[in-house]
Chains A and B, each alone.
Chain A
Amino acid sequence: MSYYSLISLMPKTPAIDPDASAFLTAAGITSPTITSAINTLVLSFKSAGVWTKMRAIYPLVGGTATTHKFNLKDPRDLNAAYRLQFFGGVTHDSNGITSNGTNAYADTFLNDLTHLTNTNKSISMYIRNVLTVGSPMGIINSRGVVSNRFYPEFLGLDYSTLGLAQSGRSIAGPQKGFFTLSKSVSGSFKYYRPGTAAITVLGTNQSNLNANYYLLGSNNMGTTEFSLANLAFASIQESLNDTEEANFRTAIIAFETTLSRNV
């Protein structure tokens, strides 16, 4: 048998997408399970047509601050690449990042005013625990006249709002899993929650805020509001339509399942 015939019989290592590879190299991750999960995630985003819409993708894999900080879309170790910076008592493990509820948050360096368009933005998170107070992600201005944040529960209502004044609505579906707020039209946003149909919320349109998105807490523009959240994924992107959100959700749930941290 010739040399070339032997080579053709050798098992082939599946090719890793270059964007997945760049992230894994930056984070120093060599685990085969995480490598496969990240590669599949990137390929799923690309085939769903959402990769080009993403501004920041935080897969929160590898179990340390140094592996969790990287943005999959642009894995340079720079604020300009929306690399996370962690403050206060954040716990890092294979389930992602968990706040102590006292003083912990992560700054994304992604500014709502300068990096996003008013009617073309969305934020997503995979939260592994139920919160009854506190915001796991976002920005709110003084007195809540403009809110761009998840707030899954306060006194029995869900106050998650994007680009409008903060308002409450009935809690529906499980309070953990994958959530998206998406705004593509002035004066309304769409809210996608696990286990229940998406809803459209209407209100007076509000301008974008000149402040960075935070994870594990909300940036209250001068102060920080903390939570006890355990996040296993977060992202900030252009607005998603129903089909894109459904494909995005499917990819994230598969990703969390591969990593055995789905809830």
Chain B
Amino acid sequence: MIVYILTEQQKELLIGKEYIKDSYFNPIQDIEDNWIISEEEISQCTNKEVEWIKDLPQIQFNPKPPTMFIITE
């Protein structure tokens, strides 16, 4: 899966901003602690304020492993 890599400063600029009405950016960190946003946020974005996201470099998404807590009572 392709995602788009952000600098720390770019991540801060996107937090709390809508990419389309009623949908907000959600930068997360991959397994190497890179900040990334998804293809959907880029492709659906109509927010002129953040047009620079269309030029972000792509990388393959490597997620942090899922956490699963199993409690035995």
Residue from the list B24, B37, B66, B69 in contact with A85, Cβ < 8 A: B24
Q: How many A-B residue pairs have CB under 8 A?
A: 84
Q: Quick check: B73 and A88 within 8 Å, CB to CB? A: no
Assembly CA distance A157 to B69 (angstroms) = 13
Consensus secondary structure, chain B interface? loop
Q: Quick check: B69 and A65 within 8 Å, CB to CB? A: no
Q: A100-B38, A102-B61 in contact; A144/B22 too (CB < 8 A)?
A: no
Judged by a CB distance under 8 angstroms, whether A238 is at the interface is: no
Q: A65-B20, A104-B26 in contact; A144/B40 too (CB < 8 A)?
A: no
Residues of chain A lying within 8 A (CB to CB) of residue B37:
88-89, 103
Residue of A89, A91, A105, A134 with most chain B CB atoms under a 10 A cut-off = A89
What 0/1 pattern do residues 35 to 73 of B give for CB contact below 8 A with A? 011111100100000000000000001010011111111
Q: Quick check: B38 and A89 within 8 Å, CB to CB? A: yes
Residues of chain B lying within 8 A (CB to CB) of residue A87:
23-26
Residues of chain B lying within 8 A (CB to CB) of residue A100:
38-40
Write the residues of chain B forming the contact surface with A, with a CB cutoff of 8 angstroms. 1, 3, 20-28, 36-41, 44, 61, 63, 66-73
